[in-house]
Chain A
Amino acid sequence: MLGLKRSFVLVLATISLFASQFILASERLVVYSGRSDQFVLPVIDAFTKKTGIEVQLHNAKSTALLNKLILEGERTQADLFLSNDSGNLQVGADKGLFLPLPEELVADIPEQYRAPDNSWVGLSSRMRVLVINTGAENVADIDSVFDLADPALKGRLAITHSANGSFIAGTTVYMLAAGEEKTRDWLKGMKANVDGKVFNKHSKVVKAVAAGKADVGLVNHYYIYRHLAKSPDAAIKIVLPDQGKDGIGVAENVAGIAISQYSKKLDAAKAFVAFLVSEQGQKIFAEINREYPVRPGVAAAAEVPPAGSFKVADVPMYKLGTERNRTLDMIEAVGMP
Chain B
Amino acid sequence: MHSAVRPLAITASLVALLAAIPLVFVAYKSSGLTLTKWGGLWQSRLPELLVNTLSLSVLVAIGSLILGVSAAWLVARRHFRGRRLVSWLLVLPLAIPTYVFAHIYTVITADDGWLGQLWLALFGSSIDIFNLWGSALILTLAGFSYVFLLVRIALMDANRSLEEAARIQGAKPFSVFWHVNLPLIRPAIAAAMAVVVLHTLSDFGAVSMLRFQTFTLSIYLQMSGRLDDEAAAGLSLILVALSLTFMILERFFRSRARYFSNAQSRYQQPRKASKGELLVIWLWLGLICLFAFIIPLLWMLQWTWQAIASGAIDARFWGYTLNSLTVGALAATVAMIVALPVGLFHTRIKSWLSNICLYFSSVGFVLPGPVVALGIISFAIFAVPALYGGLTLLVLALVIRFLPLAVQSQEAAMQQLTPSIEQAGRILGAGSLENLKRVILPMIRGGMASAWVLVFIDAIKELPATLLLRPVGFDTLPVRIWIEASEEMLELAAPAALIIVLATLPAIWLMARSSGNRREHGF
Residues of A within 8 A of B (CB): 1-2, 4, 7-8, 10-11, 14-15, 18, 21-22, 25, 28, 30, 36-38, 56-61, 63-64, 66-68, 70-73, 75, 77-78, 91, 161, 163, 168, 197-198, 200-201, 203-204, 207-208, 211, 213, 324-325, 328, 332
Contact = CB atoms under 8 A, between A and B. Distances in A.
Contacts of B322: 14
A161 B436 CA distance: 56
B449 A2 contact: yes
Contact of B374 (A63, A67, A168, A197): A67
A70 B479 CA distance: 22
B483 interface: yes
A8 B334 CA distance: 10
B65 to A, nearest CB: 30
B227, B229, B467 interface centre (most CB from chain A within 10 Å): B227
Interface in B74-91: none
A7 B335 CA distance: 13
A207 B225 contact: no
Given A7-B329, A10-B329, A328 B211 contact: no
Given A10-B329, A30-B472, A324-B226, 9 more contacts: A30-B473, A57-B473, A58-B472, A72-B377, A78-B472, A198-B211, A328-B225, A328-B226, A332-B44
B70 interface: no
B448 interface: yes
Q: Which 4 A-B pairs have CB atoms at the shortest separation, nearest pair first?
A: A63-B224, A14-B326, A25-B473, A71-B377
B200 interface: no
Contact of B483 (A1, A30, A36, A73): A36
B306 to A, nearest CB: 14
B410 to A, nearest CB: 12
Interface stretch (B164-172, B246-254, B296-304, B385-393): B385-393
Interface stretch (B173-181, B191-199, B485-493): B485-493
Nearest to B514: A2
B472 A25 contact: yes
Contacts of A201: 488
A200 B107 CA distance: 12
Contacts of A64: 223-224, 370, 467-468
Interface string B191-229: 000000000000000000101000000000101111101
Interface string B387-425: 011110000000000000000000000000000000000
A168 B472 CA distance: 29
B474 A61 contact: no
B473 A21 contact: yes
Contacts, number: 116
A1 B441 CA distance: 8
Interface in B416-449: 441, 445, 448-449
Interface centre among A59, A71, A72 (most CB of B within 10 A): A71
Given A68-B377, A211-B111, A22 B449 contact: no
Contacts of B355: none
Nearest to B444: A1
Nearest to A61: B224
A168 B130 CA distance: 21
B58 interface: no
A70 B468 CA distance: 13
Contacts of A15: 391
A63 B326 contact: no
A21 B322 CA distance: 13
A60 B377 CA distance: 16
B452 to A, nearest CB: 6
B381 to A, nearest CB: 5
A48 to B, nearest CB: 15
Contacts of B223: 63-64, 67
B225 A63 contact: yes
Contact of B452 (A2, A59, A332): A2
A77 B389 contact: yes
B330 interface: yes
A73 B381 contact: yes
Contacts of A213: 111
* Chief secondary structure at chain B's binding surface: helix
B227 A11 contact: no
Contacts of B326: 11, 14, 18
B277 interface: no
B335 to A, nearest CB: 13
B333 interface: yes
A147 to B, nearest CB: 25
Interface string B471-509: 111110001000100111100000000000000000000
A38 B381 contact: no
Contacts of B473: 21-22, 25, 28, 30, 56-58
Contacts of A161: 211
B477 to A, nearest CB: 14
10 contacts: A1-B448, A2-B445, A2-B448, A18-B471, A21-B474, A38-B487, A64-B223, A67-B374, A201-B488, A208-B111
A325 B226 contact: yes
B112 interface: yes
B52 interface: no
B55 interface: no
Contacts of A37: 483
Interface in B366-391: 370, 374, 377-378, 381, 385, 388-391
Contacts of B448: 1-2
Given A2-B452, A56-B472, A211-B111, A75 B389 contact: yes
Nearest to A332: B44
Contacts of A75: 381, 385, 388-389
A207 B112 contact: yes
A75 B488 CA distance: 34
Contact of A11 (B226, B333, B385): B333
A25 B391 CA distance: 14
A68 B468 contact: yes
Contacts of B110: 204
Contacts of A163: 221, 224-225
B128 to A, nearest CB: 8
A36 B389 contact: no
A276 to B, nearest CB: 20
A22 B112 CA distance: 45
A37 B128 CA distance: 32
Nearest to A91: B227
Nearest to A66: B227
Nearest to A2: B449
A331 to B, nearest CB: 9
Nearest to A39: B487
Contacts of A61: 224, 467
Nearest to A210: B112
A320 B390 CA distance: 34
Contact of A36 (B130, B225, B226, B486): B486
A37 to B, nearest CB: 6
Contacts of A324: 225-226
A200 B225 contact: no
B378 to A, nearest CB: 6
Contact of A4 (B111, B128, B224, B333): B333
Interface in B221-279: 221, 223-227, 229
A36 B452 contact: no
Nearest to A10: B329
